[in-house]
Structure 1
Amino acid sequence: MSDKNLTIELLEKRGEKLAKRRTFFKNIGGLSVGMVAGSMLTACGGGVSSAIAQMAVPTDIDILNFALNLEYLEAQFYSYAVFGTGLPAAMLTGTGTQGAVVGGQQVPFADPLVAQYAKEIAKDELAHVGFLRAALGSAAVAQPALDVGGTDPNGAFSQAARAAGLVPAGVAFNPYASDANFLLGAFIFEDVGVTAYKGASPLIENKTFLEAAAGILAAEAYHASLVRTVLYSKGITTTPALISSANAISGARNSLNGNNGKDQGITNATDPTMSNIVPLDSNGLAFSRSAGDVLNIAYLTKQSVTMGGFFPKGANGKLNMSSQF
């Protein structure tokens, strides 16, 4: 291939990647509306979507900081569940407003296997926070305000469980109360993390960052598969309600994403007697979610907003707006 043809090919590939990044934000909003207000809207011919599509191409830093928000959330949940305490104060600082955590308590694990699995995942999530903070350096966002409590009937876990029909109005769902509740609480998060990293992968330009994100994606997939496997195993041996509860949580997540089919329960949709440990599309591929779609689940809303649910004051960084369904 001549140098000229090689240059043209490289430019075409670069153009295709930028087009994907613009489409990503045209579809989801994704950035705070304030960033594209006023004269920018006029210059772009009106319309927030148009302005975002033209102006708001996320950087690798934006994407990794979005991932860091999710890792703060998961790490705090698992840390409280396993150790009874939250993350060290030194791991919470950064740019943006540092928020407080509505925390939980140590789970009184009855099954030693579940206890060991939980401890392993907790250590992994703590490592993810540390790794992303080190990779981002001074650009790392601070931990935002988080709600991972378990006793408030209006808390995030209770809202999520209520959306799935697991508890009635006025009743709290406490993911720290038992092994079963812990597994269901973990299930709320784990599949979302996998789809978030897969959705972000085409947008990351730096190959070192992309490899790191792929590594975290693989770890999150192992975690999700482990949680799904234990839920299914216990569901067919000792606690049948776990299967219907997990499937109901999957249905609630799918509903928050406009019933777009990017979520699956732990049993086969066409043959309930079969397990469905790995949720895949018709090509055997894991699903992808945009940042906005992920925040619909984290904020517990179908609306385009910048806060709610597990992030009472919103995610820190530029990627802080959920999708509109």
Structure 2
Amino acid sequence: MKSPLSGSASSRRATTDLLADRHESRRSALKKLGLGAFGLGSIVLGGREARAGFASASAADPTDVAVLNFALNLEYLEAEYYLRAVTGMGIEAAGGGVDGAGTAGEVVVKTNSQVPFTNAAFQQYAAEIAADELAHVIFLRAAITAAGGVPAARPALNLRESFAAAAQAAGLGAGFDPFADEVSFMLGAFVFEDVGVAAYKGASPLISNKTFLEAAAGILGVEAYHSGIVRTLLFQLGGTAQTAAQAISDLRDAASGVEKDQGIIVGGMANLVPTDANGIAFSRSTREVLDIVYLGSGATQGGFFPAGLNGDIK
């Protein structure tokens, strides 16, 4: 599944410009909502109204802040993955901020991580999701601060060996590189998106403050949209991509020790929305999520987080 990286300097600039345009669009929308603005080079960490909503809420429960910081760790991972795939740069270059409680860790990634997109639609999907994930990081950091907490610093992330190890464990062979081409990129995205949806849903009963719960529900909805996009594209790509997605799904079940994952094909039919018999999205406990991102049951670090998460839930 390893393919050579290609793409001219002009195509890489076009991708960066596309994300900048996406940010400009988001900025216009956020201004209309009164929630602040952001661009690639200058980002306001949450709007005044958004911060006021959290600051005026009842005193933040330590558990609520811990859950938001747990979510922030996962958002750091997603934002770094998408931003580097689309622009070749990470959160810091985009002005998103990475400092806070704990040590801001290094991001291990290939020298040129920018995906050589050949499909314009795939490129636009990636840019949109990158903008969303960066916005989640910015929002959660601002919300935690406004609630009187300290946002977790970005932990050390491994976006190189972790993917290769996960692919090998899933039986997909050695040397998998999610930045090699757009199909590999979508398979890399599939590793994260379903986990994000299940993580937010699983953490929702732990949140007591309704202001925080509403925000988490809003992010869950966006992650579900992302998951639907990725699952649909992989299904449309056919045989090899569908088989690889099933292998990744099986790996998530094996890592977490709980069988609740679903591939994009069930009984020979499309399965674009993974749900239980009641049509309800699955939940994952924080321990199950950690087992998946650490690539090992009961592990306290490893996989995508070589030094573990920052915060109380790690």
Do they superpose with TM above 0.5?
yes
**SS of the residue 1:59 aligns to:** helix
Shifted more, 214-223 versus 108-117: the winner is 108-117
Counterpart residue identity of residue 297, structure 1: I
1:27 maps to none
Corresponding position: 1:307 with 2:301: yes
Contact 1:164 1:252 in 2 (8 A): yes
Gaps of 5+ in 1: 1-56, 150-154, 321-325
Shifted more, 157-166 versus 213-222: the winner is 157-166
1:262 maps to 260
Give 1:197 deviation, angstroms. Answer: 0.1
| Residue identity (%) | 57
Q: Distance in 2 between matches of 1:177 and 1:146?
A: 19
> 132, 137, 141: which one pairs with 2:152?
141
Gaps of 5+ in 2: 1-60
Summarize deviations over 1:224-275 as a string: whole Å, max 9, x none: 010000000111xxxx2000000110011011111x221000001xx21x10
Summarize deviations over 1:61-114 as a string: whole Å, max 9, x none: 000000000000000000000001111165100011111101241000111111
Larger C-alpha radius of gyration, 1 or 2? 1
Counterpart residue identity of residue 234, structure 2: L
The alignment covers a number of residue pairs equal to: 247
1:213 maps to 216
Q: Distance in 1 between matches of 2:236 and 2:306?
A: 34
Q: Distance in 1 between matches of 2:175 and 2:77?
A: 19
TM-score, normalised on structure 2?
A: 0.77
Summarize deviations over 1:269-303 as a string: whole Å, max 9, x none: xx21x10000001111100001110010100002x
Give 1:142 deviation, angstroms. Answer: 0.3
Shifted more, 108-117 versus 68-77: the winner is 108-117
Q: Distance in 2 between matches of 1:139 and 1:111?
A: 41
Q: Distance in 2 between matches of 1:84 and 1:164?
A: 27
Contact 1:86 1:103 in 2 (8 A): no
> 129, 132, 145: which one pairs with 2:140?
132
Give 1:58 deviation, angstroms. Answer: 6.4
Corresponding position: 1:111 with 2:119: yes
Compute the RMSD of aligned alpha carbons: 1.2
Give 1:181 deviation, angstroms. Answer: 0.3
Corresponding position: 1:196 with 2:199: yes
Which of structure 1's runs of 4+ aligned residues deviate more than 3 A?
A: none
Q: Distance in 1 between matches of 2:197 and 2:188?
A: 16
> 79, 89, 93: which one pairs with 2:99?
93
1:223 maps to 226
1:73 maps to 77
